[in-house]
Amino acid sequence: MKYAIMQSGSSQLRAEEGAVLSVDLLPQEVGAKVEFPALLLSDGSDVRVGRPLVDEVTVVGTVIGHALGRKIRVFKYKPKKRYRRVQGHRQDFTHVRIDKIG
């Protein structure tokens, strides 16, 4: 089973060929190819660890679409002072299908 640990922004994700991953919003259009650097590559019993990246290994994917994550509620209050604030946030995501590792 071949997989790689790739880096997208400040996140590190496990990528396998054919998998669909949600990464932070990318500026590419739907259908565009994107490349991510590989930090680790595993192919069965052979494991290659980069310092910090594995040389000449990239993870290539196709942008499937853009979406919003679930809503997160942030609630602040101070007891006995009538201070209450509610704030919401929805993170932007890009769905990427992994085409090739290598």
Q: Which amino acid is at 69?
A: G
Per residue of the chain (102 residues), give pLDDT as tens.
899 999 999 999 999 999 999 999 999 999 999 999 999 999 988 999 999 999 989 999 999 999 999 999 999 999 999 999 999 999 999 999 999 998
Q: Is the dihedral of CA 86, 72, 12, 6 positive or negative?
A: negative
pTM higher than 0.75 for the full model? yes
